[in-house]
């Protein structure tokens, strides 16, 4: 696990560690955000958009030294090495980061193609998929709950319409199972956050042009993330938990 690369931050921003105080030069309070799976796709776009607006972004990815696109993003971006299926590492990062977080985006996810087809399922691969897509976000929520409580922040899990049991279509079964588990976990643990000021919710980002969504996907990653950010902005603590897409359309559980 890498510590905070302050030297890199100074170089990138041309400023000192004073930048890490609770406000920027214009006196506007900084928003502190943490994103998992931040090196490509939807996660990377979250980093670009939030950092572009002056937020302090804790960008987590599995191999920071190879995350060229992430490392090229300008702004208060601090990278952290994190595999969300390593629950001990998630917990340790929670202890390492010592500031309130306004937004945590549990975005890291895998498609599960390696699980294979029914009749020849690879259960080790299936378990790993559940570790990444279902338990990874739960571990992220648990590790950063104290940071969110301090900021009365928002926890957004990037789920999928494929995790909707109401819409189950009989394909991508392992992936769908993992996202249904994520949706249920959020609903099941939501009462833990009653009266804490923390809002939590799962979101479907649309069918997005990323490595996972493929080039035929319907939604540009910029539009998906812009929409998701609007949804996150509107999250309210204590509101009934709903599964919605990046445009705010409700999806049946």
Ligand X SMILES: NC(=O)c1ccc[n+]([C@@H]2O[C@H](COP(=O)([O-])OP(=O)(O)OC[C@H]3O[C@@H](n4cnc5c(N)ncnc54)[C@H](OP(=O)(O)O)[C@@H]3O)[C@@H](O)[C@H]2O)c1
Residue 81 makes contact with ligand X by CB under 6 A = no
16-22 long-range CB contacts below 8 Å, 24 or more apart?
Answer: 19/76, 20/56, 20/76
User: How do beta strands 199-204 and 154-158 pair?
Assistant: parallel
The one among 94, 153, 181, 205 contacting ligand X by CB under 6 A: 205
The one among 115, 143, 208, 232 contacting ligand X by CB under 6 A: 208
User: By C-alpha distance, which of 138, 240, 226, 233 is closest to 182?
Assistant: 138
Residue 78 makes contact with ligand X by CB under 6 A = no
- Site map 97..116 versus ligand X, x via CB under 6 A: ----------xxxx------
| Closer CB to ligand X, 72 or 149, in the complex | 72
Residue 84 makes contact with ligand X by CB under 6 A = yes
Q: How far is the CB of 24 from ligand X (least distance, A)?
A: 28
Strand partners, 154: 103, 199
Q: Which two tokens stand for residue 83?
A: 């595999």
User: How do beta strands 103-106 and 77-81 pair?
Assistant: unpaired
Give the Cα separation of 97 and 80 in Å (integer): 10
Residue 158 makes contact with ligand X by CB under 6 A = yes
Residue 210 makes contact with ligand X by CB under 6 A = yes
Q: Which two tokens stand for residue 127?
A: 């378990």
Binding residues for ligand X, rule: CB under 6 A, are 36-37, 39-43, 61-63, 83-85, 107-110, 132, 158, 160, 204-205, 207-208, 210-213, 217
């Amino acid at each position: 696990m890498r510590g905070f690369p302050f030297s890199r931050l100074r170089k990138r921003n041309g400023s000192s560690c004073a930048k890490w105080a609770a406000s920027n030069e214009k006196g506007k309070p900084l928003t502190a955000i943490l994103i998992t799976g931040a090196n490509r796709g939807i996660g990377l776009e979250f980093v670009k958009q939030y950092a572009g607006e002056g937020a302090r972004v804790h960008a987590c990815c599995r191999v920071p030294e190879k995350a060229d696109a992430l490392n090229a993003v300008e702004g208060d971006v601090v990278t952290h090495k994190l595999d969300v299926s390593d629950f001990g590492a998630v917990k340790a990062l929670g202890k390492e980061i010592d500031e309130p977080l306004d937004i945590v985006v549990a975005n890291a996810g895998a498609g599960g193609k390696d699980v294979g087809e029914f009749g020849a399922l690879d259960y080790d691969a299936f378990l790993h998929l559940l570790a990444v897509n279902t338990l990874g976000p739960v571990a992220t929520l648990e590790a950063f709950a104290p940071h969110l409580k301090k900021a009365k922040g928002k926890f957004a899990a990037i789920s999928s319409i494929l995790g909707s049991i109401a819409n189950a279509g009989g394909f991508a079964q392992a992936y769908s199972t993992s996202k249904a588990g994520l949706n249920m976990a959020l609903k099941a643990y939501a009462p833990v956050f009653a009266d804490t000021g923390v809002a939590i919710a799962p979101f479907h980002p649309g069918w997005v042009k990323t490595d996972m969504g493929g080039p035929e996907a319907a939604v540009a990653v910029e539009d998906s993330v812009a929409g998701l950010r609007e949804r996150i902005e509107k999250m309210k603590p204590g509101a009934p938990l709903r599964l919605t897409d990046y445009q705010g359309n409700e999806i049946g559980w």
